[in-house]
Amino acid sequence: MSEKRIISDAEIEELLEEFNPSELDSAMSRMCPFYKNGDTELTSVYGSIHRFVQSRLLAKLQLKLDDLSIAGELRGDDGERIDGIVTKYRVALNGKKVEILTENGEETHEVAVLEVKTGSFGPLQPAAYAHQWGLPVIVIEIKTEDVHLVDQQTASKFLSEAASHMENMENLKDEGQKIPDYYQCKDCRNTNCEYSRDDENNTGNDAIKKKSEILENLDNATEKTVSTIREILEESDYTSTIQSSESQEVLEK
């Protein structure tokens, strides 16, 4: 058995230059190198609901974590936006990052990136954020009330595999190899391909009604996020320096 080639940091950087974090999961799910994306445009209500849920969650987090400081959406050096950030002495949900501020508030120690999800998501987007920001990423999945933590080691594994997949796709394309798949061929817009399908994708008209159901999950998702943030703080040895007895009571409410 041949040894698996180790993917270099340069190859991961090249991957992230070609794809934004928000594009990675979709791009890496393709098995055929000749797949072409369609121009399907989703209803704008999804974006509005996402921003509403994000605002509700960040406000609830700030009330629960009043010894930390929450700030809203941030834009990184690459132009990608994140949902929040946690910081020391005030939970600053700063964009997508959780920062920890020092007692006098003059210095900021970033602790984690927050990513709010109202629908489905994949592991590569948070992995890319963890790599780019150099911080663990807390993914808050409102639909299921699950809170996921993606650390640096986990991010590296996923991004290395994604870079390797891109290399495989390039080799397959060079060899002219196509890999037909019922569902992917249905969505593919490569009409010159012999496997092309023209099935119509039905869209429902009850998006708002369906999305309203996730609002009931905000409280539980907030509690789980608070617990995850506290775990990160304890592991980072911040707890002893930032939690007074009063703030401890707040966190336990």
Read off the pLDDT of residues 29-65 as tens digits, 9 standing for 90 and up. 888 989 987 655 666 777 888 888 888 888 888 788 7
Instruction: Provide the terminal-to-terminal Cα distance of the chain, rounded to the nearest Å.
Output: 55
Is residue 132 a contact partner of residue 167, using CB atoms and an 8 Å limit?
no
Q: In the predicted model, what is the mean pLDDT of the chain?
A: 77
Chain segment 159-198, per-residue pLDDT in tens: 999 999 999 999 999 999 999 888 888 888 888 888 887 6
**Where do runs of H (alpha helix) occur along 69-151?**
124-133
Lowest mean pLDDT among 27-31, 47-51, 101-105, 126-130: 101-105
Domain boundaries of the chain, sorted by first residue: 9-245
Q: What angle, rounded to 10 degrees, do the helices at 152-174 and 9-18 form?
A: 70
Predicted pLDDT at 243? 41
Task: Output the CA angle 134-97-228, nearest 5 degrees.
Answer: 90
Predicted pLDDT at 128? 94
Is residue 73 a contact partner of residue 227, using CB atoms and an 8 Å limit?
no
